[in-house]
Amino acid sequence: MKKIRASLKRLHSPDIYNLDSFIPESTNCFGFLLQAMFGIENSDGEESFDMIVCTPEWLTIELNSRPVVMGYHYIFVKSYDIEYLKIFLGDFAQRCEGDSWEEVALKLGRIGRWEFEDYIT
Protein backbone atom coordinates (compact mmCIF):
# COMPACT_ATOMS: atom_id res chain seq x y z
CA MET A 1 0.00 0.00 0.00
CA LYS A 2 1.31 3.41 -0.98
CA LYS A 3 1.87 5.84 1.88
CA ILE A 4 -0.06 9.11 2.05
CA ARG A 5 2.11 12.21 2.33
CA ALA A 6 1.14 15.70 3.48
CA SER A 7 1.55 18.88 1.48
CA LEU A 8 1.36 22.53 2.52
CA LYS A 9 -1.49 24.01 0.48
CA ARG A 10 -1.47 27.60 1.74
CA LEU A 11 -1.04 29.86 4.77
CA HIS A 12 -3.66 32.11 6.34
CA SER A 13 -3.87 34.39 9.36
CA PRO A 14 -7.04 35.96 10.75
CA ASP A 15 -4.74 38.60 12.27
CA ILE A 16 -2.94 39.65 9.07
CA TYR A 17 -4.65 40.68 5.86
CA ASN A 18 -1.78 39.82 3.51
CA LEU A 19 1.01 37.58 4.81
CA ASP A 20 3.17 38.24 1.74
CA SER A 21 3.32 42.01 2.26
CA PHE A 22 3.09 42.10 6.07
CA ILE A 23 5.75 44.06 7.95
CA PRO A 24 5.52 43.86 11.75
CA GLU A 25 5.54 47.16 13.66
CA SER A 26 8.50 45.82 15.61
CA THR A 27 10.69 43.48 13.57
CA ASN A 28 12.04 41.69 16.63
CA CYS A 29 8.89 41.58 18.79
CA PHE A 30 5.68 40.16 17.36
CA GLY A 31 3.33 37.23 17.64
CA PHE A 32 0.33 36.17 15.58
CA LEU A 33 -1.92 33.23 14.80
CA LEU A 34 -0.91 31.37 11.64
CA GLN A 35 -3.13 28.74 10.09
CA ALA A 36 -1.22 26.30 7.91
CA MET A 37 -3.55 24.53 5.51
CA PHE A 38 -2.26 21.02 4.88
CA GLY A 39 -3.74 18.28 2.73
CA ILE A 40 -2.83 15.10 0.94
CA GLU A 41 -0.06 15.59 -1.60
CA ASN A 42 -1.34 15.85 -5.21
CA SER A 43 -4.95 16.02 -4.03
CA ASP A 44 -7.59 18.65 -3.42
CA GLY A 45 -8.74 19.43 0.09
CA GLU A 46 -7.07 20.98 3.09
CA GLU A 47 -7.42 21.18 6.83
CA SER A 48 -6.24 23.84 9.23
CA PHE A 49 -3.38 23.48 11.71
CA ASP A 50 -3.07 26.51 13.98
CA MET A 51 0.11 27.82 15.54
CA ILE A 52 1.48 31.02 17.04
CA VAL A 53 4.45 32.48 15.18
CA CYS A 54 6.43 34.72 17.50
CA THR A 55 9.81 36.08 18.49
CA PRO A 56 11.53 35.29 21.79
CA GLU A 57 11.08 38.96 22.74
CA TRP A 58 7.30 38.64 22.29
CA LEU A 59 7.36 35.59 24.57
CA THR A 60 9.24 37.60 27.21
CA ILE A 61 6.51 40.26 27.15
CA GLU A 62 3.84 37.56 27.42
CA LEU A 63 5.63 36.09 30.44
CA ASN A 64 5.73 39.53 32.07
CA SER A 65 1.94 39.73 31.83
CA ARG A 66 1.17 36.19 33.05
CA PRO A 67 3.09 33.61 35.07
CA VAL A 68 2.90 30.70 32.58
CA VAL A 69 2.82 30.42 28.80
CA MET A 70 2.37 26.93 27.40
CA GLY A 71 4.74 26.30 24.48
CA TYR A 72 2.72 23.76 22.49
CA HIS A 73 2.11 24.87 18.87
CA TYR A 74 4.44 27.87 18.97
CA ILE A 75 6.95 28.58 16.19
CA PHE A 76 9.81 30.83 17.31
CA VAL A 77 11.51 33.07 14.76
CA LYS A 78 14.15 35.80 14.89
CA SER A 79 12.34 37.93 12.30
CA TYR A 80 9.37 37.78 9.95
CA ASP A 81 10.09 35.97 6.69
CA ILE A 82 7.01 34.43 5.10
CA GLU A 83 9.03 32.66 2.41
CA TYR A 84 11.15 30.91 5.03
CA LEU A 85 7.98 29.90 6.93
CA LYS A 86 6.55 28.43 3.73
CA ILE A 87 9.74 26.43 3.16
CA PHE A 88 9.95 25.30 6.79
CA LEU A 89 6.29 24.18 6.92
CA GLY A 90 6.44 22.62 3.45
CA ASP A 91 9.52 20.60 4.41
CA PHE A 92 7.86 19.54 7.67
CA ALA A 93 4.77 18.37 5.73
CA GLN A 94 6.90 16.31 3.35
CA ARG A 95 8.22 14.32 6.31
CA CYS A 96 4.68 13.47 7.48
CA GLU A 97 3.39 10.32 5.88
CA GLY A 98 1.26 7.36 6.88
CA ASP A 99 -1.34 4.82 5.84
CA SER A 100 -4.28 7.20 6.41
CA TRP A 101 -4.96 10.94 6.50
CA GLU A 102 -5.70 10.69 10.23
CA GLU A 103 -2.26 9.17 10.84
CA VAL A 104 -0.62 11.94 8.79
CA ALA A 105 -2.73 14.66 10.46
CA LEU A 106 -1.68 13.46 13.92
CA LYS A 107 1.95 13.93 12.86
CA LEU A 108 1.18 17.40 11.50
CA GLY A 109 -0.50 18.11 14.83
CA ARG A 110 2.93 18.22 16.43
CA ILE A 111 3.50 21.61 14.80
CA GLY A 112 0.00 23.07 14.84
CA ARG A 113 -3.36 22.34 16.42
CA TRP A 114 -5.38 20.28 13.94
CA GLU A 115 -8.92 21.60 13.52
CA PHE A 116 -10.23 18.05 14.14
CA GLU A 117 -7.82 17.21 16.98
CA ASP A 118 -10.53 16.66 19.59
CA TYR A 119 -13.27 15.64 17.16
CA ILE A 120 -15.29 12.65 18.33
CA THR A 121 -17.56 10.77 15.94
Collapsing DSSP to helix, strand or coil, 94 comes out as: helix
Q: Say how far apart CA 102 and CA 116 lie, in whole Å.
A: 9
* pTM listed for this prediction: 0.91
Each of the 121 residues of the chain gets a pLDDT tens digit; together they read 789 999 999 999 999 999 999 999 999 999 999 999 999 999 999 999 999 999 999 999 999 999 888 888 999 999 999 999 999 999 999 999 999 999 999 999 999 999 887 776 5
pLDDT of residue 118: 74
